[in-house]
A and B are shown apart, each in its own frame.
Chain A
Amino acid sequence: MLRRLFRNPVLRRILAALATLLGVAVFVFIMLRAIPGNQITAGLGTEAAALTPAQQQALEAYYGLDQPLFVQFFSWLGNIFTGNLGFSSRAQQSVAELTAQSLPVTLELAIFSIVLALVIGIPLGMLSASRPDSPRDAFGQVVGLAGLSIPAFLLATTLLAWLASSFGFNPNGQGYAYFFDNPWLNLQQMLLPSIVLGFGIAAPIMRTTRTAVLEIRSNDFIRTARAKGVPPRRLQVKHVLGNALVPIVTMTGLQFGYLLGGAVVVEQIFSLPGIGRQVLLGIQQKEYALVQSTVLVIALAFVLVNLLTDVLYRMIDPRVRAA
């Protein structure tokens, strides 16, 4: 019974993801320990040098720094499990509270960007593949290359400066509007950042679609379907695109990582109070507890998305499901 359960591929993927997450926690913990200084020097700055040995010892005991490393690790991990992600002294808020505010912003940005990327990337890839080595293919390829090669920060700064100076359009100049407070302004503020990120992700999706469509079209079953008299549009959508979905879904899942990294840059430029900006502020203000926990939350999100992609992929592709 247990052995059969263990052979379940989805369950095995979940267990592997959990093991990876434990590794992620260890890695983040080690990274924090590698930084010179600790909570005491972070809190007191240069005044930490003036502490008497007794004060030093008392503070170390207070922060648990006198404990062996693995005890410190497990108490930290235990805190994380109980939802205690640490405290940001600058914001005077717990990291959990800060993350609860910033995560929805980034998720909204992520959803818009991915939708935009799919809307640009899939049709462009199909257009390119519809006649390889033709002008329309060249057009698709050039757009794809531009998406791969133009850095998000360059596109973002030029778009922002150009629209603001030529059209006076700068919705991000005022404070951030949460969707439920002012949906219209919120959508305007999300527009440019989503375009920048969506354009970057559209490129790999376009290339994947093009390659997949070209490969699938050369299959016998497409010729059979055409011979059977399947209308061209139905052939394109149901037979070709339907089969191309597996690599496209995989690529979209992989791009989620690019998205979360790109969010750091784009959120900074467009002043969106998302999770990427939270990491960057933490780094700039040397609030390492904030950085550590936020990076952990982002990695968790990334691992979950990969898991989801994997499960989705099994649902789309009957061959994988059967295996």
Chain B
Amino acid sequence: MTDITQSAALAPGGGRTMERVRLLLRSRSGLIGLILIVVLGVLSLLSAFGLLPYDPIAQDPPSRLQPPSAAHWFGTDQFGRDVFSRVAAGVANSALISLVAVAVATVVGTLCGLVAGFYRGISDGVISGVTNVLFAFPPLLLALSLASVFERNWFTIAVAIAIVYVPIFIRVTRGPVLSLREIEYVKAATSTGQSRAMVMFRHVLPNITSIIIVQVTLSLSWAVLTEASLSFLGLGTPPPAPSLGSMIFEARTLIGIAPWTMFAPGVVVVLLVVGLNLLGDGLRDALDPRNRGKK
């Protein structure tokens, strides 16, 4: 709760944000994570704007299973498709699904957590009950079952992953909100006649944003892993659309003759998750009020 008592002593305006960015860039893990995510983000933007050297799903049988060369940086797969273009498109696919999934989970989860923690009563009972039920399922298993219920496309997969991560955001916000509602200035705001919803959004929510930001980064890394696992099992993005998980699945029989088909998507998926994990760790340190003011 130092966050609240110290905020008055800090410079107004952007000073705090700038200090946090500086702290993030100073931590080695935060910096490495940020660089990895920027590089992979550029790769997926190239794919989104159609700037890839080859069409990721265009087959070219005469040039199949070629090793990496100047023409095909990461080689070609069993249908002659360019592995570099497919990996870039796979990152874009991963990023799209994970971003949508985590965005939905963040909005729904944070709202439910806020309401449950701030209003208590019946809403808390219902929300916490549903949270406990969703937590009773192993995450990947729940995503798998949900993905099999819906008709399969990128959006339903994102929704399935979102449902899995909603309870995490509820639990992460509800706890701090429970203690924030007892703090004097929140009580004071309520007693000045502001509506409870107003107090919740203007005085409680800003104090839990740093927790949510860290959670968003870490959840993104899990979402990437979940999407890749679903695709690997054949329950994710339907082919021929490139996905890192299904590329690795297809490459497992080719590893002896064309190891690059496994190597490229494998390394990229690991770098993506490592980048998000490092960024999450760096953000946690940078946003921790105990680390504020460190030179």
Contacts and interface: CB of A to CB of B under 8 A. Distances in A.
B13 interface: no
B256 A261 contact: no
Q: How large is the interface on A (under 10, 10 to 19, 20 to 34, 35 or more residues)?
A: 35 or more
A19 interface: yes
A264 B233 contact: yes
Interface of A: 16, 19-21, 23-24, 26-27, 31, 34-35, 145, 148-154, 157-158, 160-161, 165, 256-262, 264-265, 268, 276, 279-280, 283-284, 291, 295, 298-299, 302-303, 306
Nearest to A34: B149
A19 B129 contact: yes
A208 B277 CA distance: 15
A154 B266 contact: yes
A302 B245 contact: no
Contacts of B235: 283
Contact of A161 (B133, B229, B233, B252): B252
A257 B252 contact: no
Interface stretch (B14-22, B69-77, B138-146, B204-212): B138-146
B139 A31 contact: no
Contacts, number: 123
A276 B233 CA distance: 12
A66 to B, nearest CB: 23
Interface residues of B, number: 38
B153 interface: no
B245 A23 contact: no
Contacts of B233: 153, 264-265, 268, 280
B273 interface: yes
Nearest to A275: B141
A117 to B, nearest CB: 16
Contact of B229 (A26, A257, A265, A291): A265
Which of B140, B270, B274 has the largest count of A CB atoms less than 10 A from its CB?
Answer: B140
Given A20-B129, A27-B134, A149-B273, 7 more contacts: A153-B248, A154-B270, A158-B255, A161-B255, A261-B139, A264-B141, A283-B145
Contact of A23 (B132, B252, B273): B132
